[in-house]
Every structure is written in C-alpha cells, then in structure tokens.
C-alpha cells in the first residue's frame, strides 16, 4: 500500500509538474568543408549527380511482402555496386521502406530485408560490407492515403544514398 502510494505520487509529480521532452532535428553543418574539393574528386560526385548517368537513379521497387530484386533493376544495382567497389572512400546507406499495411515493427523488418537483399546483390558484384549500412524506415514514410497497388507500389522500395554527396 505504501509503495503504491509512493508510485502514484511520483507518477503524478511527473505528469502534473513536467512538460514533455522535445527533440528537434540537428542543424545541418554550414560552411564549406576543407576537404570538399578532395571529396568531389575522390568520390566522383559529378557522376552521382549527372541526371544522364544511371547512378542518379536511386530507388528499387518491390512486390508486396517480397524482397526479391526484380530483373529490371539489375543494371541500376550493378552500376551502384561498381561505383562502391571502385571508390573505396564511398559510404552507401540502403534504406528499406514498405507500404503502410501490416504492423509497424514487421514492416520495419521487411524494409530491412529489402535493403539486405539489395546489399547482397551488390556484394556479389564486389561492393564491400564495410562501405554499406543497411537500415529501414519500415512504413514510416509511406503514403497513408493509398487506395490501389500503383500507389502502394511506390512505398515498397529501397533508397540508395551516399555520405557526403
């Protein structure tokens, strides 16, 4: 009884007296980095940005509850794998995503499975694990107003991004 009283009191202390913990996005570092020009050369950032270069394409789309990289993305995956293999300083993040159907935690795992699937395809082509981090946002970035598969399909993807680009 004493314990429950203390607990209720302590909880009320927080709930009555405190405000929430607000988290804000960290400000982006401003100003030119001293090694920006080195990065530009070492990482060949121009080819990542060139809209005519396949490396500017960054999304791989999947079927419902599937993590198989479809044949139509073989060239895209191969181009990024080759880029990573030939630029030892490059660091790539593969972020998996899903549509908003199903549980959030399962979708987080499914998005991860997709990013791992893309990573494995790239490993075969010589891209090293040390240069790649696989993460997932699950359904957290999904369009919550989808009514058909064309809409859901846009959410089922892995996005490729590079550090310093």
Partner 1 sequence: MKKYNLSILKIFKAFISLLLFSLIAPHAFAIETIEISGGGTKQINIAVMPYKEVGNDKANSLMHQIIAADLYRSGFFRPLEVNGLINKPFVLSEINYPEMTAIEAQVMTLGQFEINNNRLKVNWFLVDVNKKTILTTMEFSGPAAQYRAIAHKISDTIYEKLTGIPGVFSTKISYISKNKGRYSLNVADADGFNIQSVVSSPQPIISARWSPDATKIAYVSFEKKKPIIYIQSLVTGQRTVLANFKGNNSSPSWSPDGRRLAIVLTYNANSQIYLIDADGSNLKPLTQSTHIDTEPVWSPDGKSIYFTSDRGGRPQIYKVSSTGGEPQRLSFEGNQNLNPNVSPDGKILSYVTQDEGRFRVVLHDLQTGQITKITDGPFDEAPKFSPNGHVILYSHKVRGSGELSTVSIDGVVHQSFNIQADDIREPAWGPFAK
Binding site for partner 1 (CB under 8 A): 3-5, 7-25, 65, 100-106, 108-110, 112-113, 116, 119, 129, 132-138, 140, 144-145
Closer Cβ to partner 1, 47 or 93, answer by number: 93
Closer Cβ to partner 1, 72 or 148, answer by number: 148
Give the side-chain half-sphere CA count within 13 A for 70.
11
Closer Cβ to partner 1, 7 or 54, answer by number: 7
Residue 69 CB, nearest approach to partner 1 (Å)? 15
Residue 92 CB, nearest approach to partner 1 (Å)? 12
Give the phi and the psi of residue 25 in degrees, each rounded to 5: -60, 140
* Residues contacting 85, CB < 8 A, separation 6+: 125, 126, 127, 128
CA distances from 100 to 50, 67, 104, 145, 147 (A): 32, 16, 8, 9, 11
Closer Cβ to partner 1, 50 or 63, answer by number: 63
Residue 51 CB, nearest approach to partner 1 (Å)? 25
Distance CA 108, CA 114 (A): 10
Closer Cβ to partner 1, 15 or 52, answer by number: 15
Residue 28 CB, nearest approach to partner 1 (Å)? 12
156 within 8 A of 99, measured Cβ to Cβ = yes
* Residues contacting 89, CB < 8 A, separation 6+: 39, 42, 43
Residue 123 CB, nearest approach to partner 1 (Å)? 10
């Amino acid at each position: 009884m004493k314990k429950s009283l203390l607990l209720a009191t302590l909880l009320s202390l927080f709930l009555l007296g405190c405000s929430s913990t607000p988290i804000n996005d960290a400000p982006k570092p401003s100003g030119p980095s001293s090694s920006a020009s080195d990065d530009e050369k070492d990482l060949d950032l121009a080819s990542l940005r060139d809209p005519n270069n396949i490396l500017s394409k960054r999304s791989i789309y999947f079927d419902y509850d599937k993590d198989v990289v479809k044949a139509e993305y073989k060239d895209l995956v191969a181009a990024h794998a080759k880029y990573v293999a030939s630029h030892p300083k490059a660091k790539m993040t593969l972020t998996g995503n899903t549509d908003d159907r199903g549980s959030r935690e399962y979708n987080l795992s499914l998005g991860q499975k997709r990013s791992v699937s893309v990573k494995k395809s790239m490993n075969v082509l010589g891209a090293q694990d040390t240069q790649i981090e696989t993460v997932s946002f699950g359904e957290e970035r999904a369009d919550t107003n989808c009514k058909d598969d064309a809409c859901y399909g846009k959410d089922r993807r892995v996005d490729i991004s590079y550090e310093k680009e």
